[in-house]
Amino acid sequence: MSSALENALALYQRGIGDGRLGEVLSAYMGDTYTQHSTGVPDGKAGFKRFFEDFFKRNPSRNIRVVRAFQDGEYVFMHVYQNLNNGAAQWVTTDIFRAEQDGRIVEHWDVIEEYRSPAEGIPDQVLGDFAPNGAVATERSKATVRRFLTEVMQNHNLDALDNYVADGVIQHDDALGQGVVSWRDWIIEHDVSYDFVFKVVGTGDYVATYSQVLIDGVSHAYFDLFRLEGERIAEHWTNKEPVPARNELTNSGKF
């Protein structure tokens, strides 16, 4: 029996990368498949129909899974996509939910355009991934939950230093570098976490999926945090506006 992580990786690499849709539908998905990806119809038939057209439009596909881990029934992935030899480049963050046998039955994602970094700026997605297995995952998740509740939902910016290292490394160029720049960005764009939908982790890494208001616009928003001790030392983001209800092709982003 394959694990949820193995099936999710195969879905991406064998399915979206290599175009083996039949293999995905029969071997890696469960009997049902609930979809939350923007523009992709619900169900296994909707997945097949969307990607048949996707393959026609994108015959050249370089799909690189940069980070992936399993936390219980959930799998998180951080992916770089290069389509048609650089004509389009995307960063995708995904959460898959699996049944007990490891087959994938539900999927959430956020897709944002990849931006090549300026010299000296950390890359948006590319880089290392080496979780510290000596760190208790549940402790890391609890720290991130407290941070999101106290700072991002209750707007206690005075507590930011309690959770974030002074020299925090930001992989979102809009946030700048360091804790002061992050605080300034939150204030300037009136950032507020409406609700936190999922929290998953492995060791010193924690990924969260939330609805976040930025400049008054609702976004589906992934954060990936790397902790050192009780503080956030490194941070990645991925976001996309939440579609209007009348534009949905499935049950929505959450």
C-alpha to C-alpha distance for 116 and 123, rounded to whole angstroms: 7
C-alpha to C-alpha distance for 136 and 3, rounded to whole angstroms: 21
User: What are the tens digits of pLDDT across the range 98-135?
Assistant: 999 999 999 999 999 999 998 888 999 999 999 999 99
Higher-confidence position of 114 and 2: 114
Q: What is the mean predicted confidence (pLDDT) over 205-228?
A: 98
The pLDDT value given to residue 1: 60
Whether 238 and 222 have beta carbons less than 8 Å apart is answered as yes
The pLDDT value given to residue 118: 87
Cβ neighbours around 146 below 10 Å, total: 14
Q: What is the pTM of this model?
A: 0.96
User: What are the tens digits of pLDDT across the range 178-201?
Assistant: 999 999 999 999 999 999 999 999
| pLDDT for residue 11 is more than 90 | yes
